[in-house]
Amino acid sequence: MTLKYDFDWPMLLEDPYREWIIEGFINTVYLSLMAWGIALMIGIFIGTIRMTRSPMLRFIGTVYVEFFRNIPLLVQLFVWFFVFPLMLPHDWMMSWNRLPHVPFLTALLALSLFTAARVAEHIRSGISSIPKGQFDAATSSGLTQVQMYRYVIIPYAFRVMIPTIASEFLTIFKNSALTLTIGVSEITSAAKSIEAWSFHGIEAYSVASVTYMTTTATVVLFMGWLEHRLRIPGLIAKK
C-alpha cells in the first residue's frame, strides 16, 4: 500500500452526513451548556461549604471533590449508565428506563457532577488567593462574616475566577465527546460514523476538530474581552 488518499470534501454537505454533523453539533452544544450551568451551581455550593467553619460540612465537601476527581470520567459515565439504574427501587428504575433520551440524561448527570468537583476546587483556590489582610480589614471595620463575603470577598474572588470558570466550559465541551461511548450522538460520534461509512477519516475528523478549535478560540477571545471589561484597575496586570 502506498501513501494515497483521495480527498472528497463536498461529501460532507450531502445527506446523511450533513444531517449527522448538524445533529452532532447541536447535541454537543446543548449538552455542554446545560452541564456547565448545573456544574456551576453545584460547584459553587460545594466550594462554599468547604470554606465554612463546620468540620462536618467541610468533610462532605472534601469527600465529594476527591471522589469525583480521582475516578476517570469514562468510568463515571459507565457507572451512571450501567450501575445507577440497578441501584434504584424497581419501579423507579422502570420509569427511568422509560424516559426519552436516557443516554443524554445520563451524560448530563455525569458531566455535571464531575465538573462540579472541578469548579468547587477553583472556588476554593480563588478564595484562598485573596490576601489575608482583606479578611482582617473587613472584619476590623465591623462587617459581619456574611457581609464580608457579600461585599468584599466574593466580588474580588469572582473576578479572579472568571478565566477558570470559562475554561471549565471548554473542558466540558471537550469532555462531552466521551459520551459517545454510551450512545449520545454528539459531534465526535458523528465524525466517527462518517469515517466508518465512507472511510474518509481526514474529512470526517476535520469537521469535529474544526468545531472544537473554533469554539475554543471564540470562548478565549470573548473571555479576554470580558476580563478586560471587569478588570480591577492596576491590580491584574495585562499579559
Partner 1 sequence: MDWSVIINNLPFLMKGLWMSVKLATLVVIFAFPLACLIAVGRISTRRWVRYPSAIFVNAMRSNPLILIVFWFFFLVPLITGKPVGDFASVMIGFVVFFSAYFTEIIRSGIQSVGRNQIQAGLSTGLTYFQTMRMIILPQALRNMMPALITECVIVFQGTTIAYVVGLREFLNSTFLITEVTLRPAELYTFAAFVYFVVCFAGSSLARQLEKRQVRT
Among 158, 209, 225, 230, binds partner 1 (CB under 8 A): 209
Query: Counting contacts by CB under 8 A, is residue 3 touching partner 1?
Result: yes
**C-alpha distances out from residue 85 to 80, 97, 103, 105, 178, Å:** 8, 8, 12, 12, 20
Strand, helix or coil at 1? coil
The grid coordinates listed for 170 are 471548554
> Min. distance of Cβ 173 from partner 1 in angstroms?
8
Query: Counting contacts by CB under 8 A, is residue 76 touching partner 1?
Result: yes
Which residues in the 215-234 window bind partner 1 by CB under 8 A? 215-217
Exposed / middle / buried, residue 136 (Cβ in 10 Å: 0-12, 13-18, 19+): exposed
Among 82, 151, 197, 222, binds partner 1 (CB under 8 A): 82
Whichever of 66 and 136 has its CB closer to partner 1, that residue is: 66
- Contacts for 154 with CB less than 8 Å, ≥ 6 apart: none
Q: Which spans in 50-101 are helix H? A: 55-69, 73-78, 84-87, 90-98
> Min. distance of Cβ 141 from partner 1 in angstroms?
29
Whichever of 108 and 180 has its CB closer to partner 1, that residue is: 180
Which of 129, 112, 128, 126 is closest to 43 using CA atoms?
A: 112
Among 34, 44, 79, 160, binds partner 1 (CB under 8 A): 79
Query: Counting contacts by CB under 8 A, is residue 170 touching partner 1?
Result: yes
Site residues (vs partner 1, CB under 8 A):
1-3, 5, 66-67, 69-76, 78-79, 82-83, 86-87, 170, 174-175, 177-178, 180-181, 188, 191-192, 195, 201-202, 205, 208-209, 212-213, 215-217
